Chain A
Amino acid sequence: LQEVTASSRHYVDRLFDLDPQKVLQGVIDMKNAVIGNNKQKANLIVLGAVPRLLYLLQQETSSTELRTECAVVLGSLAMGTENNVKSLLDCHIIPALLQGLLSPDLKFIEACLRCLRTIFISPVTPEDLLYTDATVISHLMALLSRSRYTQEYICQIFSHCCKGPDHQTILFNHGAVQNIAHLLVSTSYKVRMQALKCFSVLAFENPQVSMTLVNVSVDGELLPQIFVKMLQRDKPIEMQLTSAKCLTSMCRAGAIRTDDPCIVLKTLPCLVRMCSKDRLLEERVEGAETLAYLIETDVELQRMASITDHLIVMLADYFKYPSSVSAITDIKRLDHDLKHAHELRQAAFKLYASLGANDEDIRKKIIETENMMDRIVNGLSESSIKVRLAAVRCLHSLSRSVQQLRTSFQDHAVWKPLMKVLQNAPNEILVVASSTLCNLLLEFSPSKEPILESGAIELLCSLTQSENLALRVNGIWALMNMAFQAEQKIKSDILRGLSTEQLFQLLSDSDVNVLMKTLGLLRNLLSTRPHIDHIMSTHGKQIMQAVTLILEGEHNIEVKEQTLCILANIADGTTAKELIMTNDDILQKIKYYMSHSNAKLQLAAMFCISNLIWNEEEGSQERQDKLRDMGIVDILHKLSQSSDPNLCDK
């Protein structure tokens, strides 16, 4: 080490000279020595040049020229390896540079900003460092007017340090939109580009920013129009892609309609082009991800994308990396391919998921793409979580097709890897995977049987106990699907697996969805007479309790309706009937709902009565008498005069 650093030592020594002029010359020589020389940079850092440079930079007595040169050298050091940046951060370079921004000298400010920019775009720098002092952001906003260099560097810092809604809100509240908008028409390409990037991160999944952007104009032109101009095909790809991201965010936030020509005829085709083979791998990933986001919830956009430039076939190429030729011919290329292979695959899965979200024809086209199901199945077991998640999402999207559930899903035994994914997966994967499982458990799905055999009930029951709401919903939803028209054994297994306590827990869940699906499960469990009687004989007391509780509680119409339907099912049982007939409280409630203002609830209550008094059954006369005593016949008479469906009774 000594030998290596010896030649660099005199550079550092000169920083301590008593003559300021010699110090300045020393810094300038150091600047020339380190440019493009990583070894020299590392040496100087080891020899402790950084603290001294920072000292000189902060010293009020230093000349502006010296301070500027110090900032330049520090910026040069930051350009080196990630370790360099770490060393600089350890010396608290950021506060020192931020302090420097208060100087009146523009050249010095620019040098500080340039160095800050280099540090902040490094992946090792925590972006939170920008937000520790609230005055920093407003000062940076003010510096935006100083020169094209301050504009470029500050925009670049913002776009790299804006991660998540908190940062977006801070920047937004400091007037980022107004301060940066006019930079979109700057004469400098770099400034335009960095400003555009700023907007793409500010608006990403942020409705507040997106809604604001749509009404901002620069030189009489609205921002969406400016973005559309930046989409033109002769503009640099980076610019096209970034402005497409801005427009996508604005569209998803509802600021631009999905049928607006600037989305339909400009943004969407532009993003499809970004997926083409001519583009770089990074661009293809970003293009596909952005497009997936754009069309995720709009079936018309999905249809348009699906016919544009053979997108579905084009995406199949995303799975061909690393390509077989590259391995032999070019190691560098192989490395490049490998690095992007995961990203490409997950991007393709995401886009397929969006494309097939709603339209049956598109799903069919996707599945007919070469080796598609195999690719998904492989994707489910990849090591990369991102790929697995995207593959599950894709599978989920495709599982909405009845036809595919019956054919290709069965042919490829998709349930096997899916069940595997569900074991010990992180929550984000579990949510989508369990949701897919819901579809695979639909009664017409041929996968239902094998899934049950592989221990799905246990798994789903455990999901219902999850802290995660979405997992609880999916768990109970899947159980509900499973119970639909199931055989006695399955129903008993579900009840046993879930336990009555858990069932009650779910019935008192704060989330309506969970409650609804649990009631749905109960209703599915309580179907066909022998099942009803069997279940009610074992769990009758608890179920009646739960029903009473819900009918008394503050719930919405749908919940009450579902509960009344459960009662109607119970009333259909042979022995189970008695549980209602002997419960005056319940009978009063049914009576109450018969005269409820909501027709759906009336109808559901009517089903209960109708099942109770069904003539062909034993003891129907007694039940009719009892109900007549309660004054239900009068209500029936009233109802028969009012609306139509009730006429069938009596």
Chain B
Amino acid sequence: GWDKHSYGYHGDDGHSFCSSGTGQPYGPTFTTGDVIGCCVNLINNTCFYTKNGHSLGKFVFLPSQSNLYPTVGLQTPGEIVDANFGQQPFVFDIEDYMREWRAKIQSTIKRFPIGDRLGEWQAMLQNMVSSYLVHHGYCSTATAFARVTDTTIQEEQTSIKNRQRIQKLVLAGRVGEAIEATQQLYPGLLEHNPNLLFMLKCRQFVEMVNGTDSEVRCFSARSPRSQDSYPGSPSLSPRHGSSNSHVHSTGADSPTCSNGVLSTKSKQSHSKYPTLSSSSSSSSSSSPSSVNYSESNSTDSTKSQQHSSTSNQETSDSEMEMEAEHYPNGVLENSSTRIMNGTYKHEEILQTDESSMEDSCPQRQLCGGNHAATERMIQFGRELQILSEQLCREYGKNTMHKKMLQDAFSLLAYSDPWNCPVGQQLDPIQREPVCAALNSAILESQNLPKQPPLMLALGQASECLRLMARVGLGSCSFARVDDYLH
């Protein structure tokens, strides 16, 4: 406690020293056998010591830039000190102390004045919900919500339905059709977003390997749709070099982040996916969750855009928050329409999906095990390679593109692509970031926000907490966003 930025409690006189050679009378003296503890409270910048589990009284603690390190000074040789950093229960009931502060912070939040003027607050909340539903294409739910709350939806019905259709295609792994539909409904969009297009095509390649893309499925016995009219890869000649849209950053900006998220999620989906082929009822039950994931990842992209370097812990934070994100949905809309809606749309797609899989390949095989399909895939791969080179010439080297391409092609190097180091790409979960990127790009092209305000608010709150943590404002640790998402 004598040195600058140091604090101490002396056993010989019971004085407390705060960065000064002269101490203040503080507590009792202590000696062999006593348990001395120290608690630093970064919320109100106080500190107190404990003796044998009793708090001895707080004093002001000035936070310093430098870190604090626990130190024990000994006077006589041969003395022994046991240090407990929580590996054993503390004598002082620190849990109870934290409970008090958690309650304090939460009541501060709860009592925060919102300044409601003539239902402004409610209108804003309704808008948040409505825009969220619209963004993700929950068309019927959004309409029902608008009717009940007597609000209007900005975007046109058909536009929402179009987006919904494209999203469904991507999520079903039919990326080729999605690209086609996008080009039909939003001409010029992909031409202006070469990076997005490249990403879609990479995904399409992966889906070909998977055997789900229509270009390879058309070779199998029973195809749900004819794919004759597929025009092949469109010739790309973007006139204005559209700058890096958020789409790109989504894919590769923060590998740690998405990895962290996905590792847990893929576990879940792995366990769910095989059941898809066994019965259609289970597939319908699992599909809503896949919708949720798609939402999650779209936010994830939001996140990773905002801060590229995130630590593991933060990742897990955002993950929690993402997972919980679908709850407000369920809570806020009081009709069951949304659930029906979500279930229905996936059922439709996944069922056809699944029936073709059942027919052609009881076990997973490259391109569904069809030789012609494999040929088509390889040809598509070449086109993709050409596209990559073309982009490289026009816009310069893009490491992210290179990585995407490399990963996709690596699948071919293994006899069982589903069980290989890069096999994760084949996971349907991976369709979600692609889907979200495409959805955002479409919305942006319609002069609509690329993210729903709800997600923006969430992201803002999370980022705010992260900033608070960085500058050492302790209250952030008791105000986790996920505490409020259920």
Binding site for B on A (CB under 8 A): 232-234, 264-266, 269, 304, 307-310, 313
**In the complex the two chains form, is B56's CB within 8 Å of A308's CB?**
yes
CA–CA, A313 and B91, complex, Å: 25
**A-B interface, 7 closest residue pairs, ranked by CB to CB distance from nearest:** A233-B100, A310-B57, A234-B103, A234-B99, A309-B57, A307-B28, A233-B96
CA–CA, A310 and B16, complex, Å: 13
20 pairs, CB–CB < 8 Å, chain A vs chain B:
A233-B96, A233-B97, A233-B99, A233-B100, A234-B100, A264-B53, A265-B54, A269-B54, A269-B55, A307-B27, A307-B28, A307-B54, A307-B56, A308-B54, A308-B55, A308-B56, A309-B48, A309-B55, A309-B56, A309-B57
Taking A265-B93, A307-B28, A307-B51 as contacts, is the C-beta distance between A232 and B56 under 8 angstroms? no
Number of A-B pairs, beta carbon distance below 8 Å = 37
**In the complex the two chains form, is A265's CB within 8 Å of B53's CB?**
yes
Interface string of B37-70 (1 = CB under 8 A from A): 0000000000010010111111000000000000
Taking A307-B27, A307-B28 as contacts, is the C-beta distance between A232 and B96 under 8 angstroms? yes
CA–CA, A308 and B48, complex, Å: 11
**In the complex the two chains form, is B99's CB within 8 Å of A309's CB?**
no
For residue A269, which residues in chain B have a CB less than 8 angstroms away from its CB?
54-55
Give min CB distance, A271 to chain B, whole Å: 13
**In the complex the two chains form, is B54's CB within 8 Å of A304's CB?**
yes
CA–CA, A265 and B51, complex, Å: 11
For residue B57, which residues in chain A have a CB less than 8 angstroms away from its CB?
308-310, 313
Answer yes or no: B102 CB below 8 A from chain A CBs. Answer: yes
CB-nearest residue of chain A to B107: A234
Q: Interface range on chain B: under 10, 10 to 19, 20 to 34, or 35 or more?
A: 10 to 19
| Dominant secondary structure at the A interface | helix
CB-nearest residue of chain B to A270: B96
For residue A265, which residues in chain B have a CB less than 8 angstroms away from its CB?
53-54, 91, 93
CA–CA, A307 and B26, complex, Å: 9
Q: Which of B75-104 contact A (CB under 8 A)?
A: 91, 93, 96-97, 99-100, 102-103
Binding site for A on B (CB under 8 A): 27-28, 48, 51, 53-58, 91, 93, 96-97, 99-100, 102-103
CB-nearest residue of chain A to B48: A309
Give min CB distance, A105 to chain B, whole Å: 35
| Dominant secondary structure at the B interface | mixed
| Residue of A264, A265, A266, A313 with highest tally of chain B CB at under 10 A | A265
CB-nearest residue of chain A to B92: A265
CB-nearest residue of chain A to B102: A234
Give min CB distance, A259 to chain B, whole Å: 12
For residue B51, which residues in chain A have a CB less than 8 angstroms away from its CB?
307
CB-nearest residue of chain A to B106: A234
Taking A307-B28, A309-B58 as contacts, is the C-beta distance between A232 and B99 under 8 angstroms? yes
For residue B58, which residues in chain A have a CB less than 8 angstroms away from its CB?
309
17 more contacts with CB within 8 A, not counting A232-B99, A309-B58, are: A232-B96, A233-B96, A233-B97, A233-B99, A233-B100, A234-B103, A265-B54, A265-B91, A265-B93, A269-B54, A304-B54, A307-B54, A308-B56, A308-B57, A309-B56, A309-B57, A310-B56
CB-nearest residue of chain A to B52: A304
CA–CA, A264 and B51, complex, Å: 13
CA–CA, A313 and B102, complex, Å: 28
CA–CA, A313 and B59, complex, Å: 13
For residue A313, which residues in chain B have a CB less than 8 angstroms away from its CB?
57
For residue B91, which residues in chain A have a CB less than 8 angstroms away from its CB?
265
Give min CB distance, B383 to chain A, whole Å: 63
Give min CB distance, A117 to chain B, whole Å: 29
Give min CB distance, A368 to chain B, whole Å: 10
CA–CA, A234 and B100, complex, Å: 4
CA–CA, A310 and B54, complex, Å: 11
CA–CA, A310 and B58, complex, Å: 8
CA–CA, A264 and B28, complex, Å: 17
Give min CB distance, B34 to chain A, whole Å: 11
CA–CA, A313 and B57, complex, Å: 10
For residue B93, which residues in chain A have a CB less than 8 angstroms away from its CB?
265-266
CA–CA, A307 and B52, complex, Å: 11
For residue A233, which residues in chain B have a CB less than 8 angstroms away from its CB?
96-97, 99-100, 103
CA–CA, A265 and B53, complex, Å: 7
CA–CA, A50 and B9, complex, Å: 68
For residue B103, which residues in chain A have a CB less than 8 angstroms away from its CB?
233-234
CA–CA, A269 and B28, complex, Å: 16
CB-nearest residue of chain B to A261: B53
For residue B48, which residues in chain A have a CB less than 8 angstroms away from its CB?
309
CA–CA, A213 and B96, complex, Å: 25
Give min CB distance, B35 to chain A, whole Å: 12
For residue B102, which residues in chain A have a CB less than 8 angstroms away from its CB?
234
For residue B54, which residues in chain A have a CB less than 8 angstroms away from its CB?
265, 269, 304, 307-308
For residue A304, which residues in chain B have a CB less than 8 angstroms away from its CB?
54
CB-nearest residue of chain A to B103: A234
Give min CB distance, A283 to chain B, whole Å: 15
CA–CA, A264 and B93, complex, Å: 12
CB-nearest residue of chain B to A233: B100
